[in-house]
Amino acid sequence: MGALQALAGARLRVSVIQACSGGRLAIVQLAPEHADDAARLHMLGQPGAFLTSLGADVLTVLYRTLPQSPAGFGFAAIDPTHPQQLLAFVSATTSVGALFFEMGTRRLPAFLPPLLRRFAIEPGLALRATQTVLYPFLHATPAGVAPPAELLSIMVAPELRSAGVGALLVTALLAECQRRGVAALDVTVDAANTGAQRFYVRHGFTYVDTFMLYGRAMHRYQARVAARSARVQA
């Protein structure tokens, strides 16, 4: 199994190298060793958001778990001359429920202590955590329809924003969805975040619906992976 996973990892690696901000940028698979930097970029990119409020320790466990989970995948932007430094990343899952289940079972010893520390400091977070756990049930997939994957987060270092890095990451993610046979990719965006909505529309996502989460209106957008692939081949 280890040899097969290594072969799959080699095939999945995206060999996009592009000049960016005077350096070279490589898009590679998100890996557990990126977890600390991913947590740092997440907190920089989404101040005030629920996951950010859980703190760096909880986010580090999340981003260490996600690349190792059968339900998780993502890509990282690095400078090949300094590969230990994460410059940007995107994360996704084929099943939010399966990812949450893994966090609450196999990863519980690492996940629970920092989570409980945050709840002790800010008890109101427990209610929002419950809403998060229930989130997968807000969008039931009709019988006979393959469930979409979900883009969980995309974060870019401040100095590289508006340089096309986010576009590279989304392109890599959609290609990986196609490789996995996933027909659609969903993303949830705060209704007040018009900049993010414009970004996703530019990259082939269309508005699906609006729902409430954490007492705020959220928009769901979706990219049809098969349709995008057909256009590219044409």
Q: Provide DSSP, 10-40.
A: HHH----EEEETTEEEEEEE--GGGHHHHHH
Bin 147: left if φ > 0, else alpha if -120 < ψ < 50, else beta: beta
Q: Tell me, what's the pLDDT at 170?
A: 96
* Nearest partner of 13 among 28, 3, 26, judged by Cα: 28
Comparison of pLDDT for 13 and 212, the residue scoring more: 212
CATH fold group of domain 15-182: Aminopeptidase (3.40.630)
- According to the per-residue pLDDT averaged within each range, which of 21-25, 89-93, 134-138, 158-162 is highest? 89-93
* Nearest partner of 180 among 204, 148, 220, 154, judged by Cα: 148
Q: How do residues 148-175 score in pLDDT, each as one tens digit?
A: 999 999 999 998 988 899 999 999 999 9
Residue 147 pLDDT more than 90? no
Q: Tell me, what's the pLDDT at 62?
A: 95
* Nearest partner of 177 among 156, 149, 210, judged by Cα: 149
Amino acid at 178: Q
Dihedral over Cα of 208, 210, 212, 217: its sign: positive
Q: Determine the Cα–Cα distance for residues 62 and 88; give it in Å rounded to an integer.
A: 16
- Which pTM was predicted? 0.83
Among the listed ranges 56-60, 125-129, 141-145, which one has the minimum average pLDDT value?
141-145
Rounded to 10°, the helix 165-180/225-233 angle is: 100
Residue 70 pLDDT more than 90? yes
**Burial class of 63 by CB neighbour count within 10 A (0 to 12, 13 to 18, 19+):** buried
Comparison of pLDDT for 135 and 82, the residue scoring more: 82
Structural tokens at position 185 = 């990719």
